[in-house]
Amino acid sequence: MSWISPELIEILLTILKAVVILLVVVTCGAFMSFGRTSPAGSVPEPLRT
């Protein structure tokens, strides 16, 4: 296939790495925000400080 060149492969790998890193960051941020807000929501109102 003549349209697949080393430059194209390098660009696609760079885009793939960026997407994977973005997904990891977003997922970690979601879990951190869930962990931060969840315990306060499960504690009854009078016990919150």
Task: For 10-41, write each residue's pLDDT tens digit.
Answer: 999 999 999 999 999 999 888 877 666 555 55
d(CA 41, CA 10): 46
Q: What is the pLDDT of residue 19?
A: 98
Written as six digits, the tokens of 40 are 């306060």
- Stretch among 6-10, 12-16, 41-45 having the lowest mean pLDDT: 41-45
Written as six digits, the tokens of 35 are 């962990």
Residues 40 and 48: beta-carbon distance below 8 Å: yes
Q: What is the pLDDT of residue 22?
A: 97
Q: What is the pLDDT of residue 31?
A: 82
Find the distance separating the first CA and the last CA of the chain, reported in whole Å.
Answer: 66
